[in-house]
């Protein structure tokens, strides 16, 4: 008997067409598992159009998802542009020799079009070839012939032409409207699925409203009703539509979903897994990403982690600790004490050591202006609290300033990383 998996792939038969001016491959089968390699990998099912000067890739809803130029002026042949569900362009660069993997845990550096806390990368969006694609990709496609070609190819070209920049902008807006807001920050661990997440809000706001935080909103922490969550799931299914089979990762929003009742978290996760049919995604495994605060994490019952660990998800929970030094916490306007931070750090290790399907990562801030006491205290946790190197439980160091790459902060990061006994990376703040 055939599995649902193979049937889904069979419904998307590969078809290749070539003539003098273009080459089209419908339903290419990319990698079915996220991997970390130093060459470009494309995932899931998609279709590819190659013209004399460009390569464009489209998802199963005929929406552009990747693009690159074949011209010599393109920065590097294995770099590319990605269009996100939020309709942002991201330029994936190799980062030259700047140690992208050591810094981010990934081989490619996402260059974003909006201000963020990145310490690496140049200004690729100022490059002419990139600008041409970002501004004119639809005009290039609109000039393609869609008659005189085999029927399925003509129909496909017609379909990709219908997905105009205006329409895609509207669709991104629809995505934000489903939950009522845009995801202004994705968990750092979402890098493991190249940030291809389905966002579902079970709560709004956060507990602390820290002074330093640039991604917070004004909403008081509140829980969404079951009715609201079910509605989001229904509309997300409609929005992701045929391309849903390419997804296997859920982000439970917003900034502190871990503060929601245990039952709500578990019921939602199971419901979403079934509704989004993750068991038959063309991508292997399923991933769950959640943000938590120190208080929600300390209050979370053992049963939550035990049950999450048994679910068919690889779960990543990211906790913002920020500092283990009282003066720094006060400076950041984070209403925590080092005692609470230490308590949370200890609980994080206990779960990471025992729950094979859960990884709890945590964030600390970095900045040239922070005192030595902050870094000394940080070392107490990430170096002195354990006596050997740990394979999981990432420590993310988050530069405080946006739009201000600094060699000094990057140097400090590498120094901290070399001393840390945990996998330690930079937190690059990205929106969806």
Measured from the CB atom, is 204 or 412 closer to ligand SF4? 204
Dist CA 88 CA 302 (whole Å): 39
Name the segment binding ligand SF4 (CB under 6 A); options: 9-17, 113-121, 207-215, 424-432: 207-215
Which one of 202-210, 232-240, 337-345, 419-427 is the stretch in contact with ligand SF4 (CB under 6 A)? 202-210
Sign of the dihedral defined by the CA atoms of residues 251, 255, 256, 260, in that order: negative
- When the beta carbons of 282 and 400 are compared against ligand SF4, the nearer one is 400
Nearest to 260 by CA among 234, 222, 232, 287: 222
198 vs 213 by CB, closer to ligand SF4: 213
Is residue 336 near ligand SF4 by the rule CB under 6 A? no
Given 59, 93, 117, 293, the residue binding ligand SF4 (CB under 6 A)? 293
Q: Which of residues 15 and 216 has its CB atom nearest to ligand SF4 in the complex?
A: 216
Q: Does 216 bind ligand SF4 (CB under 6 A)?
A: yes
Minimum CB distance to ligand SF4, residue 362 (Å):
12
Whichever of 261 and 333 has its CB closer to ligand SF4, that residue is 333
Question: Which of residues 44 and 320 has its CB atom nearest to ligand SF4 in the complex?
Answer: 320
Token pair listed for 188: 């750092």
Q: Which of 29, 161, 182, 209 binds ligand SF4 (CB under 6 A)?
A: 209
Binding of ligand SF4 by 382 (CB under 6 A): no
Taking the least distance from each CB to ligand SF4, the nearer of 48 and 334 is 334
By CB under 6 A, residue 206 contacts ligand SF4: yes
End-to-end CA distance of the chain: 39
- Least Å distance, CB 185 to ligand SF4, is 8
Cβ-contact 108, 118 below 8 angstroms: no
**Identified binder of ligand SF4 from the candidate list 49, 67, 210, 370, rule CB under 6 A:** 210
Query: Which one, 7 or 215, has the nearer CB to ligand SF4?
Result: 215
Q: Which of 80, 91, 92, 208 binds ligand SF4 (CB under 6 A)?
A: 208
253 sits near ligand SF4 (criterion: CB under 6 A): no
- To ligand SF4, the closest distance from the beta carbon of 91 in angstroms equals 27
Quick one: 109 or 300, whose CB is closer to ligand SF4? 300
| Contact string 304-323 vs ligand SF4 (x = CB under 6 A) | ----------------x---
Q: Which long-range contacts (CB under 8 A, 24 or more apart) does 134-142 make?
A: 134/81, 134/89, 137/54, 137/56, 137/64, 137/67, 137/165, 138/164, 138/165, 140/51, 140/54, 141/49, 141/56
| Of 239 and 319, CB closest to ligand SF4 | 319
Work out how close the CB of 293 gets to ligand SF4 at its nearest, in angstroms, rounded to a whole number: 5
Of 137-145, 210-218, 266-274, 419-427, which segment contacts ligand SF4 by CB under 6 A? 210-218
396 binds ligand SF4 (CB under 6 A): no
Question: Which listed residue (100, 202, 213, 329) binds ligand SF4 by CB under 6 A?
Answer: 213
Binding of ligand SF4 by 255 (CB under 6 A): yes
Identify which range of 19-27, 195-203, 206-214, 381-389 contacts ligand SF4 by CB under 6 A: 206-214
Residues of this chain that interact with ligand SF4 (CB under 6 A) are 206, 208-210, 213, 215-216, 255, 293, 320
């Amino acid at each position: 008997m055939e599995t649902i998996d193979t049937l889904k792939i069979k419904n998307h038969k590969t078809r290749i067409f070539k003539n003098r001016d273009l080459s089209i491959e419908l339903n290419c089968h990319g990698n079915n598992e996220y991997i970390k390699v130093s060459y470009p990998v494309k995932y899931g099912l998609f279709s590819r159009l190659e013209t004399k000067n460009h390569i464009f890739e489209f998802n199963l809803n005929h929406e552009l998802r990747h693009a690159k130029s074949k011209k010599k002026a393109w920065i590097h042949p294995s770099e590319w542009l990605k269009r996100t569900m939020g309709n942002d362009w991201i330029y994936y660069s190799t980062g030259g020799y700047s140690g992208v993997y050591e810094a981010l845990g990934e081989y490619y550096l996402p260059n974003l079009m909006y201000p963020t806390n990145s310490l690496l990368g140049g200004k690729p969006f100022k490059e002419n070839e990139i600008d041409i694609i970002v501004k004119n990709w639809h005009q290039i496609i609109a000039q393609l012939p869609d008659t005189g070609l085999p029927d399925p190819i003509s129909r496909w070209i017609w379909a990709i032409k219908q997905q105009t920049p205006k329409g895609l902008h509207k669709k991104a807006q629809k995505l934000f409207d489903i939950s009522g807001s845009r995801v202004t920050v994705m968990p750092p661990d979402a890098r493991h699925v190249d940030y291809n997440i389905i966002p579902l809000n079970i709560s709004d706001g956060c507990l602390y409203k820290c002074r330093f935080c640039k991604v917070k909103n004004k909403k008081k922490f509140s829980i969404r009703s079951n009715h609201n969550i079910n509605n989001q799931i229904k509309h997300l299914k409609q929005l992701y539509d045929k391309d849903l089979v390419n997804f296997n990762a859920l982000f439970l929003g917003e900034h502190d979903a871990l503060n929601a009742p245990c039952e709500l978290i578990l019921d939602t996760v199971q419901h979403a897994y079934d509704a989004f049919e993750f068991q038959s995604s063309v991508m292997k495994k399923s991933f769950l990403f959640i943000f938590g605060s120190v208080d929600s994490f300390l209050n979370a019952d053992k049963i939550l982690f035990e049950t999450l660990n048994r679910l068919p998800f690889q779960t990543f929970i990211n906790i913002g600790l920020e500092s283990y030094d009282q003066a720094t916490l006060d400076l950041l306007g984070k209403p925590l004490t080092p005692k609470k931070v230490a308590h949370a750090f200890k609980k994080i290790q206990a779960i990471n050591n025992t729950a094979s399907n859960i990884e709890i990562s945590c964030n600390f801030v970095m900045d040239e202006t922070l005192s030595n006491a902050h870094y000394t205290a940080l070392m107490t946790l990430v170096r002195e609290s354990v006596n050997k190197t740990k394979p999981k439980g990432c420590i993310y160091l988050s530069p405080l300033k946006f739009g201000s790459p600094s060699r000094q902060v990057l140097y400090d990061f590498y120094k901290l990383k070399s001393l840390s006994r945990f996998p330690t990376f930079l937190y690059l703040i990205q929106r969806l």
